[in-house]
A and B are shown apart, each in its own frame.
Chain A
Amino acid sequence: MSNASDIPFAKTTKYIGAALPRATAKRFLFGRGRYTDDIEVPRMLSAAFLRCPYAHARILAIDTTNARKFPGVHSILTGVDLARICRPWVGTLTHFAGMKSAPQLPLAMEKAVWSGHPIAIVIAETRAQAEDALEAIQVEFVELPAVVDALDGLNEHSALINEAAGDNLIYATQIEAGTIAQAFEDAEIVEADFIFGRHTAVTMEPRSILANFDPSTGRLDVHQSTQTPYQFQDVYARHFNLSEANVRVVAPDVGGSFGMKLHVYHEDMAVVGASIISGRPVKFTADRMESFASDIHARDHRVRARLAVSSEGILRGFDVDDVTGVGPFSTYPRTSVVEGNQVVRLIGAAYRVTDYRAALRVVAQNKNQMSQYRAVGHPVAFAVTEYLVDLAARKVGLDPFEIRRRNYLTQDMYPHTTATGYQIERLSLEICLEKLHEVMDYAAIVAEQERLRRTGVYRGIGIATYVEITNPSPAFYGVGGGHVSAQDGCILKVTQSGEIQCMISVTEQGQGTEAIIAQIVAEAVGTDIATVRVFTGDTDMTPAGGAAWACRGAGVGGETALQAGKKLKKRIVEVAGAILHCPAHHLTLVDGRIVDAQQHTRMTLRELAHLSYFRSDLLPAGRPAELTVAHHHGPSGFPFAFTNGIHGSLVEVDVETGIVKILKHWVVEDCGTVINPLLVEEQIRGGVVQGLGAALFEECRYSASGQLLNGSMADYLVPMACEMPDIEVYHVETPTRDTELGAKGCGEAGTAASSAAALNAVNNALSVFGASITQIPMTPERILRAIGAVG
C-alpha cells in the first residue's frame, strides 16, 4: 500500500524519488560508448569457432593440418588441447536434490550435443583470416539420433544425450500442499494445456570477450560483455587454476544482457584458454547467427494445469504439470532448473489458495542451452495462472476484476506464506487492481468493445497479475553451493577537491544502475549529485558482489550505497567537527556544505577535502581524515522481497488475417521505494516489450532433426517500435521494511505478466467465436487455426 510514513525519504529527499535524466546517457548520444569489441590491444588475435552442424553427433577425427597453413593463423585448438588446462564445469546445485548434468569443457570432445556446439577454435591475426581457416578443418562426424522434443526425450527408447546419466531427465520435483483431491471435489474445474515457445535475448550488443593472459606474471585480464564480472573472476580462477587475485574481469559498456550474459559459455572459456595457451590477447565477438545458436534460449515449457473454483468464484486449488526442455545439459553456474522451479512455485502466488500440487520435469534435448532470462519462470507461471483465473471467472459468471477481488491476498494477511512456501512480506494487489481498473477506464473500453463487435471489429481486454521475486538472498544459489554472491559492496572516497567517487559491485547494462546509485549516494552524503561519479564493472576496482541478476540492483545495491553514504557523511562531519572545534552532532552536510544547527554554512566539502589532503598538519594530532569508506550489505529478513503489480492489455484481432494489433498496455507496479520514476518506467516498458515479443512474435523454431530454422534477424521476429502500443506505467509504493531504503526490484516486472495480459486479451477477443489459444507466440497462423479459419 502506498503509505508515506513507510518511505523514509519521501518528505526530505532531494534525489531519491526524483525523475532525473541519467548522466551517462549523454556519452552514448555522443557516440562515446566503449564496448568490449571496441577495445584493441597490441598483439591481439581474433578467434572464430568451428561448430557442429548436427544436433547430435559423434566426433571421430578432427584434422587441422591444412587450416594451420592459412595466412594469419596463429593456432588451432580442439577439445583435448583445452581439456588439459581447464577443469570441467557441472551445472548442478545441491539444493536441487537429485539433479544431474554432464560435465562440460570449452570445446566438444568425443561428441557434440547441439547444432552450434563449438568444436575447434582458430586464433588468427584477424577474424576474417580465422574464419577462412575454419573452412579447411576436416571433421569426421557420425550423426546420432537427436532428442528434440522434451517429451520424446523421456521415452525409455529415446536416444541419450548424457549416457552416464542413464536417461534424459535432468531434474524432477513435486510440490504438494493441503489436500488437492478435496479441493477439486464438487468444484467447478477449468483446465488447459499450454505451450510456451523458446525465445532468446537478442541483445543489441552480442556477447563479446577479450582475454589477455600474461605468462610472466600469471595475470589474466578479461574484458567481457557481462552483467556479473565477479562471478567470472571466480569461474576463470577456479577452472583455469589461477590465483583469483590475479584475475581481473572488466565489464565495459554492455549493450543489454537480460540474464543472458551471466551464464558460462563454451566460447568464453575457450577464448580464455586460448589466451593462456598462446600467451596472446584473444578476442571473440559473436555474430548474430552465432548469438542465435549459442546465447541461452528461454522458456520452452509445456504446462498442463487445472484450477478448482467454487460456484461463488472462490479459487480452491491448482494442479500443475510442467515439462521443460533445457538443451543438452544444465547451464553453469546457476543451472537450467531455476526457471521450471519458479514456474511451479509462483503459480497462484497472488491468491488465497492453500491446496496445491505441482510436478516439474526438466529434460535434456539436443538444442541450444536454455536458462535464466529476464523474469525467469514468471511469464510462464502468470500466463498459466491468469488464463485459468479468467477461465474460472467465465465459468462462474464473474468479471475478471471481480474474481481477482474475491481471491487476492489482502492487507490483513501479511506476512504471508504461499502454498508453495514463499514468504511474502507485504503486497498491494488490491490497490493495484483498483488503480488499473481506473486508469484503463475499464467500463468505457468494455462498452467500446461491445459496440465495435457489432461492426465486425474484435477487440480483447486482458489483465494479468504478477508477484515477482526480487532482492534475492543466498537462498537462490549460495545455499546450493553456487559461487554467486547475493551481497554487494561499495567504496566511497572523497577526492582532493571534495567530489565523491563511488566504486560499487552492482553493474550497468543500460538500465541506469549508475544513475540511481549516484542519486542515493548524493542523498545519503548530502552533496550535489553533479559531484558524484559512479564506477562499476571492474573486479580490480570495486568490492566483490552480486552485480546484476534477479532485480537486485536497486534493492541490494541501493541499500549498500545508502549505508556507505551515511557512513561517509558521518566521517566527514567528524572531520569537520575536529577542524571547527564543534561537536559533530551539531553539524550536517547539505549540498556539499557543512552546516550547523542554525543552518549556517561553516565550510564546504571542498575546503574540508583540501585541508584533509594538502594540510593534514593542521588537523588535530592523531586524527587523520579517513575520507574513504567501504560498506557491504546482504539481504536479511525475508529470503526475497516480493513485488507485485498488474498489467492490462487492449488488443484488436483481425479475424481474417490472424494478426493482432496491440492498442494499449497499462502497468500498475509496486517496487517499493521508487528511486527514479523515469528509470522504473523505462525498465517496465522495456520489459513489457520483451514480454509482448514472446506473446506474439519471438520463437526459436527447430526442425524435427534439431536444426534451428530461424537463426537470423530476417526470420526471427522481434517487436519493433511500429508494433508496440503506448505503455502507461503507474506506481504504488510498498517499501520493504528489511532495508532503510525500502526499494525492491523492477527490472523484470514488465516481462513477468505482459505476455499473460496479451494472452488473456486475445482470448477475450476470441471468446465470441467460442475459441481459445493457449500457445505463445500467438502467431497469425495459430490464431486462424484457433478460430477454425484454417485447418
Chain B
Amino acid sequence: MDITGEYRIAASREIVWSALNDPDVLRQCIPGCKELEAKSPEEMDAKVALKVGPVSATFSGNVRLEDIVAPEGYTLIGQGNGGIAGFAKGRALVRLAEAGGHTVLSYEARAEIGGKLASLGSRLIQSTSRKLAGQFFDSFAAHLGGKRATADAPVSAEVDDLELIHHTQNT
C-alpha cells in the first residue's frame, strides 16, 4: 500500500525540521501515542494505540531514521507489532521544501500490514491512514504556529501492495 501526501506548514523549514526530530513534539502530535522514547538521534521506541474499524490495538515498535539530510528530509523506517491485531511495517521518504517562508512537507510511504489488520481490507486501512496522517499534521502545525496545516494535494493512497499474486487476475 502506497500513501503519499503533501502539507503546507506555516513555519520555516528549520523549525519544522527541528520539531520533526523532537521526541516531545512527536509524542504530542502522533495520534494515540502513549510512549515515545529516543534511544539515539536516529532511533525511537514508541507505543501507539490505534483503532482500525473494529480492531483496536496498541502497537509497540521502533522507528529508525536513515539518509538524514538536515533540514531537507530523511527516510523513516518503522515496524510495529500490534499483538492480536497484527503488524505494520514500512518506510516513508519525508521531504521539506521552502516555500515563501512556509514549508511544504511531502511524504511517500509504503506500508505493509499483516494479520487482522490486513484482513479488514484495504478500504478501511486507507481511510484510517488518511485520517491519522491528517490528525498528525493538524496537531503538528498547531504546535508550530497555531494554525492548521493545509494539504496542498489531496492525500492519495494507492493499493500497490494489495495486488494479488495472480497477475493474470489484474490483467
Residue positions of A touching B, CB distance < 8 A: 50-55, 115, 131, 134-137, 148-149, 152, 195, 197, 289, 292-293, 701-705, 707-712, 714-715, 775, 782, 785
Contacts and interface: CB of A to CB of B under 8 A. Distances in A.
A544 B84 CA distance: 40
Nearest to B1: A703
Contacts of A52: 115
A51 B119 CA distance: 13
B167 to A, nearest CB: 9
B90 to A, nearest CB: 12
A51 B161 contact: no
B121 interface: yes
Contact of B116 (A53, A152, A197): A53
Contacts of A785: 171
B40 interface: no
Contacts of B162: 703, 709
B169 A703 contact: no
A292 B116 CA distance: 10
A148 B165 contact: yes
Given A50-B84, A54-B87, A137-B83, A709 B119 contact: yes
Contacts of B87: 53-54
B150 interface: no
B118 to A, nearest CB: 4
B60 to A, nearest CB: 9
Contact of B169 (A137, A707, A782): A782
A711 B120 contact: yes
Given A703-B162, A710-B121, A775 B168 contact: yes
27 contacts: A50-B84, A51-B115, A52-B115, A53-B87, A54-B115, A115-B114, A115-B115, A131-B84, A134-B83, A134-B84, A135-B57, A148-B165, A197-B169, A293-B119, A703-B162, A705-B112, A705-B161, A707-B113, A707-B115, A709-B121, A709-B122, A709-B162, A710-B119, A711-B120, A712-B121, A775-B168, A775-B169
Contacts of B83: 134-137
Nearest to A148: B165
B161 to A, nearest CB: 6
Interface string B123-149: 110000000000000000000000000
B114 A707 contact: yes
Secondary structure dominating the interface of A: loop
A195 B115 contact: no
A55 B82 CA distance: 16
Contacts of A703: 112, 118, 161-165
Interface of B: 57-58, 82-87, 112-124, 161-166, 168-169, 171
Counting chain A CB atoms within 10 Å of each CB, the highest count among B161, B162, B169 belongs to B169
Given A131-B84, A707-B114, A195 B168 contact: yes
A131 B84 CA distance: 9
Nearest to A293: B119
A705 B87 CA distance: 13
Contacts of B113: 707
A54 B88 CA distance: 11
B111 to A, nearest CB: 12
A115 B118 contact: yes
Nearest to A782: B169
Contact of A135 (B84, B120, B122, B123): B84
Contact of B123 (A51, A134, A711, A715): A715
Nearest to B161: A703
Contacts of A149: 165-166
Given A709-B119, A710-B121, A195 B166 contact: yes
Contacts of B115: 51-54, 115, 707
Contacts of A50: 84
The 6 closest A-B pairs by CB, nearest first: A53-B115, A711-B119, A715-B121, A707-B118, A53-B86, A53-B114
Nearest to B166: A195
A180 B5 CA distance: 59
Nearest to A785: B171
Given A195-B166, A195-B169, A289 B116 contact: yes
A775 to B, nearest CB: 7
Contacts of B163: 703-704
A146 to B, nearest CB: 10
Contacts of A704: 161, 163-165
Contacts of B171: 785
A708 B165 contact: no
Given A53-B118, A709-B118, 19 more contacts: A53-B86, A115-B118, A135-B58, A148-B165, A195-B169, A197-B169, A289-B116, A703-B164, A704-B163, A705-B112, A707-B115, A708-B118, A709-B122, A711-B119, A711-B120, A711-B121, A712-B121, A714-B123, A715-B121
